[in-house]
Structures are given as C-alpha cells and as structure tokens.
Structure 1
Amino acid sequence: MKDGTGTRLRLVPKRWVQNGFTLAHDENGGPVFVHGALPGETVEVTLTRVRSNHSFACVSQVLEPAPDRVESDCAAFPACGGCSFRQVSYREELNIKQRLLFELPGMQSAFEEAGHDIRWHTAQPTGYRSQAQLQCDGNSRGFFALHSNAIVDWPPEGCRNLAPELSEAMRAFQPPGPGRYAFRVAGGTVYGPESLRTNALVESRLLDDPAFSWSFPARSFMQSNRFLVGEWLRAWRELEPPAHEGPLVELFAGTGVVGGFLMKDGLSYEGYDSDPAALAAGRHCFSIRGFSGQFRRRDLYRQGLPTGFSDAQSLVLANPPRAGLGQRLTRDLLESRASALLYSSCNPQTLARDLISLRGRGALSVRAIRIFDFFPRTPHLEVLVRLDRKQAGPAH
C-alpha cells in the first residue's frame, strides 16, 4: 500500500511498552510498536498502521525466539487483535503488567502513598469472559485483526477467553448476513443477538451469595470477568470508610450495582448516568430491595456534577468508561465537600492522569489500591483506588 501498510520488516524489539506492545526501531530509527513479540527476539513483522513519526506492526514469523517465549494456545494469535500476551506465561504477564503500571506518570508515588494497603486479585486466566461480539462479513466469521476491519477466522478450539458455553454458542451461530453479533452469558443462560436486541432485563448472580443478585438491561455494561466480579464488589465494601453513615453518590452508576451492594439502613443514595435503560433497571433493583435512592440522568462529561451535589459526609463512587473522570469532573470533585472517593478504572493511563489532578492540590490522598486482572492475556487492568480528603491543619 502507498502508506507502507503491509510492508514486511525484520526487527529486534527492545522492551515492553504500554498497551501490550514491544518497542523496536526500523532501519531509519523510527519507532515501531510490535504486537506479538518479546523483547530481545528477532522477528519478521508486517506493518499494520503507519503514521508520520511511528508505526505499528504484527509478528508474521519468529526468527530467533526469546528464552521465555511459550507456544500460543490459540491459533488466531497474534493475528487477532484481542490478546497481547499469549506468547508468555501468565506469571510473566502479571510481572509485565505490574512494571508497566508503575511506569505511568505519578503512579509510583500513588502506590508509595498507599503504603502496604495494596493487593492484586487474579483468577483463572481462561474461560473468564461473559460477553463478546462476533464479526461477520459474509465470507468469514471471527474477530477483527489488529488495526483492521479484516476478520480473523474463528479458531478451531474457540476463543479461550470466553466462558465455554458462550464460546460454544458463538461457534454454533449461523449469521443471517454480514454484521456484528453480540452475545453474553448471565445466570447460566446464554443470550444471543435476538435476545439482546430487545434489551430485556437480565438477572445475574454476581457473587457466590445466593441472596444477592442484580438485574441489568441485556445490552448494558457490566464487568465481564465472571470469576472476579464478586471479589471486585467485596473490595468496594472493604475500602468503604469505617462507620460511614453519609450519603452514597455514584457516578457512571449504570444500574447502581455498586451502590446497591453498599446500601444499608439509614443511607441515602444518588446515582448519575446517561443511559436511561440502566437507570430504570437501577430503580427497579432498589425498589424490590426496599432501598431509598434517586437515579438521575446526566451527561457527566458534558454537564459535570450538579451544584452542591454532596455534603461533607458523602462517599463518592466512580466507575467511568476508559476516558476516565477527565478535567471537569476531577475539578468538580476537588471543589466538592465529599469526604472520600472510591474510583474504579478500566484504563490505568487515564487513572494516572486523574490521580495527578486529584492529588495535585493536596486535597486528596491515596489510602488503598486494589488491582484486578479482569482481562488476562490482554493489556487491560481494573484498578480500584480509595482517596480520602485530607483534614485541614490547625489555624495559626
């Protein structure tokens, strides 16, 4: 191609960098971010995206493997863009993720501020995912290739990240034509494209406690690691400030499952989200459990927080999309009187940016950090942070 996409190069990557790539340099010294390689090995790559000052590439052939390379257990890797770490052991993957997390600006000092109150949560690295999308173009069915709309065929062994019943349902599905077809499994039932089209309420038991279940619209967001979602919910409760009796304010609340899990007699609740179907489900779940709460539709990125949204005893819960909180919301939180913030991020890079802002004025400090490897074999992590408002010193 004219832009160089499709060109083959021989490279030796030097180190791991963010987003699951290794960094190499072409013969002109230009940086190339390589998918599917290990540092120190010689690989032949195919350029998948070319920019003016850098390029991306996918391994076509390993010429001289690194000592710690392992054989991938998936025939679609590395052509499929869904996984980044199927060429290393899971233990080494966790080591890589930890190093990359510490490399983010300000993150090391945040960990130092948390002291010893830091924990990693991991589980079985296969069969964990409870939702996925199947891509079909009329000829092929599978997943998108890296940086491309080309489809990598469904592997013979299925997708090892998916719950077995989900993988089998997707394998057996006969698409009526080209398109994107969504599937999810909840409560032991697989919901296919037709079920998801109606967006009906789906009940799911998120914990091993049969007394706690939650309903959410079939197409709405929900944490998709079926092995760790219960531990993640318990971590919110663990990190809740002791003897907290003030209002709960949940940002990007969705169906309010986090707030609902923390609710107890005497607490008030406000949940903000832009998805009306999720908010309606939240009202339903609160109502049948006898909880008192308000669910309000609000575009938090565009509108920010409502004036006077919290009092000095409020505990703010935030679980934003990959974009993070952003400048406006971090400013609003700093100007609020909330006593503490529990912030769960699916993108450590935007979390690092937001923590710099939240800690920068000295108003909030990191009390505890919990890291969840929600997406083994991918570069993603979920990080839950508790920040407490610092008490003003005595007047002089």
Structure 2
Amino acid sequence: MKPVNKNDRLLVHVEDLTHDGAGVAKVEGYPLFIHGALPGEDVHIHVLKTLKSYGFAKLLEIENASPFRVEAPCPVFDTCGGCQIQHLSYEGQMTFKRKLVRDAITRIGKLPDVPVHPVKGMENPWRYRNKSQIPFGMEDGRVVAGFYQPRSHQIADTDICIIQTPEADSIMAGIKHKLTEMGIEPYEEETHRGQLRHVVVRKARATGEIMVVLVTKKKKFPQAAEALKLIQELVPETVSIVQNVNPEKTNVIFGDETITLWGKDVIEDQIGDVRFEISARSFYQINPEQTEVLYGQALEYANLTGNETVIDAYCGIGTISLFLAQRAKFVMGVEIVPPAIEDAKRNAELNGLSNTLFEAGPAEQVIPRWYKEGKKADVLVVDPPRKGCDEQLLQTILKQRPERVVYVSCNPATLARDLRILEDGGYRTQEVQPVDMFPQSTHCEAVAWLQLAE
C-alpha cells in the first residue's frame, strides 16, 4: 500500500536532487519527484501521479527556502528544457554536481574511498555556449524560435538565451521577425511541411569568427540571397554562411548535404596552443573555456614525459589527441565517424603535429589490431558518449593492460559502472576531478585517473 495517493496535498522536506534537477522528498520511504524544489526546503505539494515505487508532485508553496535558492534570470526558464537549475545558485550547483559524481562512484562503482575533488567551475557561468541549434516553427499563426520544452518538441519561444552568445541571440531574433516578410515558411515536424528547420550558430572564441548554418528541407532556396544579406547585417562578424539540406521526416537536425552559400567552408578556433578548423557538422566541445580546463586535467593525469605512446579512443576531430601530441612521443586516435577522422587529420596537419595517426572504425576492433601490429600504448585515453565505453573496448583495455588510463566522462553513472569493471580487472582508480562544462544544467563531466596495479 502506497503511503500517498493522487491529489493528496502535503508538506514535505526535500532531501536531494535527481540527475534532471527535480527535488526528491520521501514520505515513509516513498520518493516523490518535485519540479522546482531544492534540497533542504520544506514545501507544500500536490501529488500528481503515483506509481508502484515513486510518484510525481507539483510544487505549490515554499515554507522554508534553501539558502542556495535564487531567482532564475531567464524569462522562459519555467518552460524551456535547456537549463534545469538556474534557480540554484552557482555555489549550490557546484555542491550538487560534486555530490552527483561522488554518489555514482560510491553507489554504482562501489568505490567509496576514491577521492572526488571539488568541481572546477567557471568564473562567469553565463554566455558560454559556442554553438546554438535553434528550431523554428509556427504557433497560433506566428513564427516562433527558441529551444524545446522538456521532453517535447514544442518550442519555448524567446528572443534571448543567456547561456548562448549575443550573436546567436541577434540571429535568432532577427531571422524570426523577418521570416514571414522573406516568404520563408518554418518547418512543421508533424506535417513535414515548410522549409526552414533549424538555424545553427557557431562562434570561435579565439578568433571571433562566426558560422551560420541554415538547415532547410529542400535544396532549392530562392530566398537565399535575402537571408545572406540579413545575416550579414545582423552580425557583421559572420565569415561563413552554409546551407544544410535535410529532406527526411526526422527530428535529427542535420542532413547529409552541406553547401557553402557565402564565405569560408570552416571557421578556425584555438584551445590552448592547438588550432582547429570547424565545419558545419564537426563535433566540437560547446564550452571553449572549460574545454581547456577539461583537457588540461586529462593531460595532467596522462603525466606525459615525451617518451610515451598514447591511444585516444573516441577521438572525434582529434581535440584531446592533439593536446596530448604536444607532450607525447606518438598519439593514435580512433573514431567510428569517418568525417571526424578526416577533420582530425586536417587539424593535425594544421598544427604541424606529424607524431599522430588517425583511423576510422570501432575502437574495440581497431585497437586490438594495432596491438597485433606492435602499436602498443603506455597511456590510453577514453572519451566515450553518454552510454559509456563499449564492453568490448573495456575487455580490450584489460587484455592489453596499458600502464595508465585516463577516462573523460560526460555521464557519472556510466563512468562509475566502467571504473568498477576496470577495477575488477586489475586497475586502481586514483582520483576523479569533476569539471563543469554546462553551468545552469544538471550535466557534469569528470576526468578519472586509473593506474595498473603492481
């Protein structure tokens, strides 16, 4: 028998936050998830839904507020899915994220004694995103643009986003207010009608160069000249305007065909001493300031002297690989996406780093072949997607047994799971350093250092 029922009104104490930013209160051990509530608060709630082992409730009133509660500065914070914890002070966010990582390492990884350091955060945790992917649509006969609402493809309409660049704001609002006048119909996902699907804005922090990508349903784009003129007027720093064609009935943003309409094919950025060319579809870290912190931590844990061979699994466009190549004897990167490998090779050439090798393919297949060819690693770096390392790759690591492993993670839960597997196979986790790449959201990256046991 559940201790609460739908439509109950209760006063509860909030104990924790979930990974997606909801407050957690327990009634006789039964968890209730409350959007907008913060740990330490006493709140009045209305129970909306009860399931077998947990339920959901609406926040009605705060009786005792958390000392970390602040007024969210974004006008669409309550409807937009981009940020989850703007109502939590940045100090509170740092505390939450460290706990998130430490709880995962302890609970999932069964590693309570591994040091989890305080989060490395930002001095100014706003306006940090160097890439904005802005959907366009129609609502009640008017053009809307902004970001998707939580767990939906309804657009939270806005003219500004305080975690993206001011240039992205200008382009988002400017195009939205001129779209009808230009005769461009925004795309409707449900009916598969309309032309303009997304506008993607990328800014290189080091050079200030800006690329604008217009994602359209059809290649034919009669209003292109007018759109180019508008974008250049809105943001004169734009150096590249690109059209990407996505004719599919899908919610995937990009299609396969990309056409440069005006200016350069790529923009150039720099992280530390390493230069990168970024194309419309290149994967590149969203927060350039914190990327330098993240990669600097990976470099510190790699502890390179100049004599090591390093393998970088999930190397992407070579961002970590090229950082490491400045200090290593030789770096080999593997990535399953062929265009990313072409970018990595080009970026290595751009930086004159000839002590690198990049190959496209599954890491769990390529690395064992490298070992058979005598290409063995002293240090192995992994930077997997949210799902964590492929099980075969973990078995490959345990079989090849590099002296040191540096694990760069964007998901504390899968990091903890994979650390447990590596620990059981003979490695020892020395320490974990969380890095805040996404202020105002619940996401937290972390770097772990593992050493092969004697």
Equivalent-residue separation in structure 1 for 2:432 and 2:31 (angstroms): 33
Matched, 1:238 2:300: yes
Deviation at 1:51, TM superposition (A): 6.6
Alignment partner of 1:287 out of 339, 349, 368: 349
2:35 maps to which residue?
A: 35
Given the superposition, is the C-alpha separation of residues 190 and 173 from structure 1 closer, same or farther in structure 2, using an over 3 Å criterion? Answer: farther
Given the superposition, is the C-alpha separation of residues 43 and 266 from structure 1 closer, same or farther in structure 2, using an over 3 Å criterion? Answer: closer
> RMSD value over aligned CA atoms?
3.1
Amino acid at match of 2:121: T
Deviation at 1:305, TM superposition (A): 4.0
Q: Per-residue displacement from partner, 1:74-111 (whole Å, max 9, x unpaired)?
A: 12122222212111211112112222222115378657
TM-score by length of 1: 0.83
Given the superposition, is the C-alpha separation of residues 229 and 265 from structure 1 closer, same or farther in structure 2, using an over 3 Å criterion? Answer: closer
Q: Per-residue displacement from partner, 1:321-368 (whole Å, max 9, x unpaired)?
A: 11111422222211113111111101111111111111123x111234
Equivalent-residue separation in structure 2 for 1:127 and 1:278 (angstroms): 27
1:340 maps to which residue?
A: 404
2:253 maps to which residue?
A: none
Amino acid at match of 1:22: G
What's the secondary structure of 2:161's corresponding residue?
A: coil
Q: Is the 8 A contact 1:346 1:380 kept in 2?
A: yes
Matched, 1:250 2:309: no
What's the secondary structure of 2:170's corresponding residue?
A: helix
Deviation at 1:180, TM superposition (A): 3.5
What's the secondary structure of 2:289's corresponding residue?
A: coil
1:23 maps to which residue?
A: 24
Equivalent-residue separation in structure 2 for 1:23 and 1:265 (angstroms): 46
Alignment partner of 1:220 out of 282, 296, 305: 282
Deviation at 1:55, TM superposition (A): 5.0
Q: What count of residue pairs does the alignment treat as equivalent?
A: 373
Matched, 1:296 2:372: no
Matched, 1:388 2:387: no
1:112 maps to which residue?
A: 113
Q: Which moved more, 1:122-131 or 1:196-205?
A: 196-205
Q: Per-residue displacement from partner, 1:204-232 (whole Å, max 9, x unpaired)?
A: 1123x5xx312233322221112212222
- Superposition pairs for residues 178-189 of structure 1, below 5 Å? 178=187, 179-186=197-204, 187-189=207-209
Given the superposition, is the C-alpha separation of residues 120 and 144 from structure 1 closer, same or farther in structure 2, using an over 3 Å criterion? Answer: same
Alignment partner of 2:165 out of 163, 166, 170: 163
1:267 maps to which residue?
A: 329
Deviation at 1:260, TM superposition (A): 1.0
Q: Is the 8 A contact 1:58 1:146 kept in 2?
A: no
What's the secondary structure of 1:93's corresponding residue?
A: helix
Q: Is the 8 A contact 2:94 2:121 kept in 1?
A: no
Equivalent-residue separation in structure 1 for 2:154 and 2:275 (angstroms): 39
Taking every aligned residue pair, what percent have the same amino acid on both sides? 25
Structure 2 segments unaligned to the other structure (5+ residues): 1-5, 188-196, 215-241, 245-257, 260-264
What's the secondary structure of 1:249's corresponding residue?
A: strand
Equivalent-residue separation in structure 2 for 1:196 and 1:252 (angstroms): 28
Equivalent-residue separation in structure 1 for 2:421 and 2:357 (angstroms): 29
Equivalent-residue separation in structure 2 for 1:166 and 1:294 (angstroms): 36
Equivalent-residue separation in structure 2 for 1:374 and 1:322 (angstroms): 14
Equivalent-residue separation in structure 1 for 2:58 and 2:130 (angstroms): 27
Given the superposition, is the C-alpha separation of residues 274 and 63 from structure 1 closer, same or farther in structure 2, using an over 3 Å criterion? Answer: same
Q: Per-residue displacement from partner, 1:144-185 (whole Å, max 9, x unpaired)?
A: 11222222121x5x2111122223322323364123332221
Equivalent-residue separation in structure 2 for 1:51 and 1:351 (angstroms): 29
Alignment partner of 1:367 out of 426, 430, 437: 430
Equivalent-residue separation in structure 2 for 1:137 and 1:31 (angstroms): 37
Equivalent-residue separation in structure 2 for 1:196 and 1:229 (angstroms): 28
TM-score by length of 2: 0.73
Q: Is the 8 A contact 2:13 2:25 kept in 1?
A: yes
What's the secondary structure of 1:228's corresponding residue?
A: helix
Alignment partner of 1:147 out of 122, 144, 151: 151
Q: Is the 8 A contact 1:43 1:62 kept in 2?
A: yes
Equivalent-residue separation in structure 1 for 2:394 and 2:25 (angstroms): 36
Matched, 1:201 2:221: no
The structure whose Rg is larger is 2
1:122 maps to which residue?
A: 121
2:90 maps to which residue?
A: 90
Equivalent-residue separation in structure 1 for 2:440 and 2:327 (angstroms): 41
1:3 maps to which residue?
A: none
Structure 1 segments unaligned to the other structure (5+ residues): 1-6, 392-396
Deviation at 1:44, TM superposition (A): 5.3
